[in-house]
C-alpha cells in the first residue's frame, strides 16, 4: 500500500457493515472480493461452498488478472476484458490499474476508449450510468431520482457526445467517455467510485453512420439545437444543483459551439469544470511556469536579462480551436492574477494563429467567438501591409520572425508545422542564453507539430519541450558527452483529478480561476526540472512529473486547491467557520481530512449487519 498510495494512511481504511449475503454479495461489483474473502468473512456472509478453498491476497488476484489480460492480443480486447473485470469487482479493477498505471491508462482511456465508443452499439453488453434522452425530457427528474435516490454523489460527469476524443459525434456511445473520465477521477484523484455518476445527454446525433445503423441503441434523430437543446441541458443542471448542491459537475466532450458557453453559463452558480478547456489550459500553464523557472535560472547564470514571470513572455498559440483558446485564456488569466496586468494588456501578450493565419484586424474571417476576438492583433501593428495573399493571411513563420516569441504552443493537429525554419527563427529572436519553450501538444503523436528529437537538434539542446502524447527520451552528444532529455507529457490527467478532488473536499461553490491557477502552480513546483537540481544549466529533466506519479501529484494538487478555496471563501460554510481562527484551524485540518477521504483500491474488513449497506 505504501508504494501505491502513500497519501492514504492504513489506519484510515474503516471496516464496512454490510447486509448483503451469498450470491447478492458476490455479484455486487462494489463489495465483491472474489477469492479475496478471508475464511471469517466467508462464514459470516454465507459464502462457504460458493468459492474455492484458498484465499488469495489482492496482490495474487492482480497477478492472476494481469496474466489473463496478457492473453488478449489487441488493445480493444484488453479494453473489453477490463470492462468485464470492472463489472465484477471494483477494488480488483482499480488495484490492477494502479499497479500498471502507465501501461493500462491508454487502454481504458484515450486512445483505445475512442474505438470502444465508436463501436458502442455493436459491443453493447450492459448499461452503465444514466441515459437522459430528449424525447423523455418530461420524465427527466423522475429518471434522475430513480438512479440517484439514496446516493451521496460528489462527482457527476456528463457529455452530449458531440466531440468525442477526436472522433467526433458518437451519439449515445458517449456514455463511454463519461465512465472513462469517472474512472480516471477514481484511479488518479482518489474519488470514491460509489459517489460518482456518469451521464449522457442523448440529444440525437448527426453521425449518418449511426442514424442508418439498425443496431444503434440511441435516439436515431438529428441533433437538437437552439432553445430546445439549452432547455434540456438546463433542466439537467438544475436537477444537479437541487439535489447535489456540493457536487462537482464535469462537462466532457461537448461540441465547440456549446462547450465554452455552457461552462460560462453555470460557472458562477455551481462547481462546474470542462477538462477540454480548463484542464488543457491548466496543465499547459503548469508546464510554462516550470519552463520559465528553468529558463530564468539559466539566464541569471549567464548574466542575461531575466524573464521569470508569465508577463515577461511572448506567446504564439498555433491552433485557435477550443484547446488553443482554452490555453490562451488560462495563461492570460494567470498573467492577470500573478502579475497584475489588466485584461487588455494581458491579451497583448498573445498571437493566435488559426487555419487562416494570424488573427488580426485586417484578416477576412468569419465565425470567431467573442473570446477569440479579444486576441485579435490591432491593424496599427502593420500585419496587413506584409500579409501574404489577398485575404490578409499571415503565416506562422512571418509571425515568429516579427514577434520573436519565447513560447510556441501547438494545438493545430497539423503535423510538422513547427519546421526547422520556424524553430531556427525563434531561436534567433531570443536574448543570449534564452531557452525556447516549445510545446507541440497535438495528439496522437503522429499529429504533433514537431518531434522532440528534431526540436532538440535544431536548437542545439536548448529547447524546453513538452508534448501532448508520450515520446521517448532523446539522447544527444553535447561537448563530447551524452545528454539525455526526458520529454514531459502535457497530460490533463496530471491535474484535473486533483482539481476535482480539491473542489469536492472543500465543497466549493464554484471552481474559480484562482483555484485552478493554484493547482497549476503546485504542479509546476513538482517538476523534476525544478526539483532535481539547482544547477543553472538545464540538465534535461522533464518539465512535468512522470505520469506514473499522477496519484501522488494529484493529491498534492487537491490539498492546494482545497486550501485556496478556504482562503478565498469559495469553500462551504462548514470549512469557513465564523471567524479567522476557525478558518485557520480548517486549513490545518485539510490535509489529514483529505488523507482520510481519498479512496484507494484495498479490501476493508466486512462486518455483517442487517442494517448495513446493501448497494449503491
How far is residue 184's CA from residue 333's CA, in Å, rounded to a whole number? 27
Examine the pLDDT at 200 and tell me if it is beyond 60: yes
Nearest to 511 by CA among 199, 277, 311: 277
252 is in an annotated binding site: yes
Nearest to 394 by CA among 316, 312, 325: 316
Identify whether the C-beta of residue 330 lies closer than 8 Å to the C-beta of residue 285: yes
How far is residue 173's CA from residue 170's CA, in Å, rounded to a whole number? 6
Nearest to 409 by CA among 281, 517, 525, 298: 281
Burial label for 538, CB within 10 Å (0-12, 13-18, 19+), is buried
Q: Across residues 302-319, what is the average pLDDT?
A: 82
Q: How confident is the model at residue 199 (pLDDT cuts 50, 70, 90)?
A: very high
Instruction: Report the catalytic residues.
Output: 109, 181
Mapped onto helix, strand or coil, the DSSP state of residue 585 is helix
Hey, CA dihedral for 130, 136, 138, 143, is it positive or negative?
A: negative
Examine the pLDDT at 2 and tell me if it is beyond 50: no
Cβ neighbour number for residue 123 with a 10 Å cutoff: 16
Q: Where are the domains of the chain?
A: 282-492
pLDDT at residue 308, rounded to an integer: 83
Residue 468 is placed in which grid cell? 501532448
Query: Which residue is listed with cell 432547455?
Result: 231
**Rg, the chain, Cα only:** 25
Residue 370 CA from chain centroid, whole number:
25
pLDDT at residue 1, rounded to an integer: 36
Nearest to 109 by CA among 150, 145, 78: 78
* Low-confidence winner among 47-51, 381-385, 412-416, 513-517 (lowest mean pLDDT): 381-385
276 is in an annotated binding site: yes
pLDDT at residue 322, rounded to an integer: 80
pLDDT at residue 444, rounded to an integer: 82
Residue 75 CA from chain centroid, whole number:
22
pLDDT at residue 387, rounded to an integer: 44
How far is residue 128's CA from residue 130's CA, in Å, rounded to a whole number? 7
Q: What is the pTM of this model?
A: 0.93
Residue 319 is placed in which grid cell? 491552433
Q: For 24-46, write each residue's pLDDT tens digit.
A: 999 999 999 999 999 999 999 99
At a CB cut-off of 8 Å and minimum separation 6, what does 53 contact? none
pLDDT at residue 509, rounded to an integer: 95
Q: For 70-84, write each residue's pLDDT tens digit.
A: 999 999 999 999 999
Q: For 124-143, write each residue's pLDDT tens digit.
A: 988 999 999 999 999 999 99
pLDDT at residue 388, rounded to an integer: 47
pLDDT at residue 533, rounded to an integer: 57
Q: For 362-408, write each residue's pLDDT tens digit.
A: 877 666 777 888 999 998 888 865 444 556 789 999 999 999 999 99
Residue 270 CA from chain centroid, whole number:
19
Mapped onto helix, strand or coil, the DSSP state of residue 601 is coil
Q: Across residues 157-167, what is the average pLDDT?
A: 92
Identify whether the C-beta of residue 140 lies closer than 8 Å to the C-beta of residue 239: yes
Examine the pLDDT at 304 and tell me if it is beyond 70: no
Which 8-state DSSP code applies to residue 168? B
At a CB cut-off of 8 Å and minimum separation 6, what does 483 contact? 461, 475, 476, 477, 539, 540
Q: For 452-495, write each residue's pLDDT tens digit.
A: 999 999 999 999 999 998 999 999 887 778 889 999 999 999 99
How far is residue 82's CA from residue 107's CA, in Å, rounded to a whole number? 9
How far is residue 329's CA from residue 323's CA, in Å, rounded to a whole number? 10
Residue 124 is placed in which grid cell? 453493447
pLDDT at residue 55, rounded to an integer: 96
User: How high does pLDDT run on average in the chain?
Assistant: 92
Which residues are 202's β-sheet partners?
Answer: 133
Identify whether the C-beta of residue 441 lies closer than 8 Å to the C-beta of residue 475: no
> H or E element: which one contains 317?
strand 315-318
Query: Which residue is listed with cell 441533433?
Result: 223
Identify whether the C-beta of residue 39 lies closer than 8 Å to the C-beta of residue 72: no
Q: Across residues 229-257, what is the average pLDDT?
A: 96
Alpha-carbon distances of 59 from 36, 64, 142, 454, 534, rounded to whole Å: 10, 9, 42, 42, 39
Residue 543 CA from chain centroid, whole number:
17
Q: Across residues 273-289, what is the average pLDDT?
A: 95
pLDDT at residue 616, rounded to an integer: 67
With the CA atoms of 271, 277, 282 and 284 taken in that order, what torsion angle do they form, in degrees rounded to the nearest 10?
170
Cβ neighbour number for residue 422 with a 10 Å cutoff: 22
Does the domain spanning 282-492 belong to CATH 3.40.50.720? yes
Q: Across residues 599-612, what is the average pLDDT?
A: 93
How does strand 474-478 pair with strand 481-485? antiparallel
How far is residue 8's CA from residue 99's CA, in Å, rounded to a whole number? 16
pLDDT at residue 4, rounded to an integer: 53
HEC readout, 536-571:
CCCCCCCCCCCHHHHHHHHHHHHHHHHHHHHHHCCC
pLDDT at residue 522, rounded to an integer: 97
Q: Across residues 417-445, what is the average pLDDT?
A: 93
Q: For 572-591, write each residue's pLDDT tens digit.
A: 988 988 788 888 988 999 99
Q: What percent of the chain has pLDDT over 90?
A: 78
How far is residue 450's CA from residue 592's CA, in Å, rounded to a whole number? 44
Q: What percent of the chain has pLDDT over 70?
A: 94
Examine the pLDDT at 328 and tell me if it is beyond 90: yes
Identify whether the C-beta of residue 524 lies closer than 8 Å to the C-beta of residue 586: no
Angle, helix 496-506 to helix 280-301, in steps of 10 degrees: 110
Which residues are 157's β-sheet partners?
Answer: 198, 250
Share in percent of the chain as helix, strand, coil (round to 5): 50, 10, 40
Residue 425 CA from chain centroid, whole number:
33
Identify whether the C-beta of residue 481 lies closer than 8 Å to the C-beta of residue 505: no
Nearest to 154 by CA among 94, 95, 240, 238: 240
491 is in an annotated binding site: yes
How far is residue 554's CA from residue 551's CA, in Å, rounded to a whole number? 5
In degrees, to the nearest 5, what angle opens at C-alpha 486 toward C-alphas 482 and 487? 135
What are the two backbone dihedrals, phi and then psi, of residue 125, each rounded to the nearest 5 degrees? -125, -40
Which 8-state DSSP code applies to residue 321? S
Examine the pLDDT at 531 and tell me if it is beyond 80: no
Amino acid at each position: 500500500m505504501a508504494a501505491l498510495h502513500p497519501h492514504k494512511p492504513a489506519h484510515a481504511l474503516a471496516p464496512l457493515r454490510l447486509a448483503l449475503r451469498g450470491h447478492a454479495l458476490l455479484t455486487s461489483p462494489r463489495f465483491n472480493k472474489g477469492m479475496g474473502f478471508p475464511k471469517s468473512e466467508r462464514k459470516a456472509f454465507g459464502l462457504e461452498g460458493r468459492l474455492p478453498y484458498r484465499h488469495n491476497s489482492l496482490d495474487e488476484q492482480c497477478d492472476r488478472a494481469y496474466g489473463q489480460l496478457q492473453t488478449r492480443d489487441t488493445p480493444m480486447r484488453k479494453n473489453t476484458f477490463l470492462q468485464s473485470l470492472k463489472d465484477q469487482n471494483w477494488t480488483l479493477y482499480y488495484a490492477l490499474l494502479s499497479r500498471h498505471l502507465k501501461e493500462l491508462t491508454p487502454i481504458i482511456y484515450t486512445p483505445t476508449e475512442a474505438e470502444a465508443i465508436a463501436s458502442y452499439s455493436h459491443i453493447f453488453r450492459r448499461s452503465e450510468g444514466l441515459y437522459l434522452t430528449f424525447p423523455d425530457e418530461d420524465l427527466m427528474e423522475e429518471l434522475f431520482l430513480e438512479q440517484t435516490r439514496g446516493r451521496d454523489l460528489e462527482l457527476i460527469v456528463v457529455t452530449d457526445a458531440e466531440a468525442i476524443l477526436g472522433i467526433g459525434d458518437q451519439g449515445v456511445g458517449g456514455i463511454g467517455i463519461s465512465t472513462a473520465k469517472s474512472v480516471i477521477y477514481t484511479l488518479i484523484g482518489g474519488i470514491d467510485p460509489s459517489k460518482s455518476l456518469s451521464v449522457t445527454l442523448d440529444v440525437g446525433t448527426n453521425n449518418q453512420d449511426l442514424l442508418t445503423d439498425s443496431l444503434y441503441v440511441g435516439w436515431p434523430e438529428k441533433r437538437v439545437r437552439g432553445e430546445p437543446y439549452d432547455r434540456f441541458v438546463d433542466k439537467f443542471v438544475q436537477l444537479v444543483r437541487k439535489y447535489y448542491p456540493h457536487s462537482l459537475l464535469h462537462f466532457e466532450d461537448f461540441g465547440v459551439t456549446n462547450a465554452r458557453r455552457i461552462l460560462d453559463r453555470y460557472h458562477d452558480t455551481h462547481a462546474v469544470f470542462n477538462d477540454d478547456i480548463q484542464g488543457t489550459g491548466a496543465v499547459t500553464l503548469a508546464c510554462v511556469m516550470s519552463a520559465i523557472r528553468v529558463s530564468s535560472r539559466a539566464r541569471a547564470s549567464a548574466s542575461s536579462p531575466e524573464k521569470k514571470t508569465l508577463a515577461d513572455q511572448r506567446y504564439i498559440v498555433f491552433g485557435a480551436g477550443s484547446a488553443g483558446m482554452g490555453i490562451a485564456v488560462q495563461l492570460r488569466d494567470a498573467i492577470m492574477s500573478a502579475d497584475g496586468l489588466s485584461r487588455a494588456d494581458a491579451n497583448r501578450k498573445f498571437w493566435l494563429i488559426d487555419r487562416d493565419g494570424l488573427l488580426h484586424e485586417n484578416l477576412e474571417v468569419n465565425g470567431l467567438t467573442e473570446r477569440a476576438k479579444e486576441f485579435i492583433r490591432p491593424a496599427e501593428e502593420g500585419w496587413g501591409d506584409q500579409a501574404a495573399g489577398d485575404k490578409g493571411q499571415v503565416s506562422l513563420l512571418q509571425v515568429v520572425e516579427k514577434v520573436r516569441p519565447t513560447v510556441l504552443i501547438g494545438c493545430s493537429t497539423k503535423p510538422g508545422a513547427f519546421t526547422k525554419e520556424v524553430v531556427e527563427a525563434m531561436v534567433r529572436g531570443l536574448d543570449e542564453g534564452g531557452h525556447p519553450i516549445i510545446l507541440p501538444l497535438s495528439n496522437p503523436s503522429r499529429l504533433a507539430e514537431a518531434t522532440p528529437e528534431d526540436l532538440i537538434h535544431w536548437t542545439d539542446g536548448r529547447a524546453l519541450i513538452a508534448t501532448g502524447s508520450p515520446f521517448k527520451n532523446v539522447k544527444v552528444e553535447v561537448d563530447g558527452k551524452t545528454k539525455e532529455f526526458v520529454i514531459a507529457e502535457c497530460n490533463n490527467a496530471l491535474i484535473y483529478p486533483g482539481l476535482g478532488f480539491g473542489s469536492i473536499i472543500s465543497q466549493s461553490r464554484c471552481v474559480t480561476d484562482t483555484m485552478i491557477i493554484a493547482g497549476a502552480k503546485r504542479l509546476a513546483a513538482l517538476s523534476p526540472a525544478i526539483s532535481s537540481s539547482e544547477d543553472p544549466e538545464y540538465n534535461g529533466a522533464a518539465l512535468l512529473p512522470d505520469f506514473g506519479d499522477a496519484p501522488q501529484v494529484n493529491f498534492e494538487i487537491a490539498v492546494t486547491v482545497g486550501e485556496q478555496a478556504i482562503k478565498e471563501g469559495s469553500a462551504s460554510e462548514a470549512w469557513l467557520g465564523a471567524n479567522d481562527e476557525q478558518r485557520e484551524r480548517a486549513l490545518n485540518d485539510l490535509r489529514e481530512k483529505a488523507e482520510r477521504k481519498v479512496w484507494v483500491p484495498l479490501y476493508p474488513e466486512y462486518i455483517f449487519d442487517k442494517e448495513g449497506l446493501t448497494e449503491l
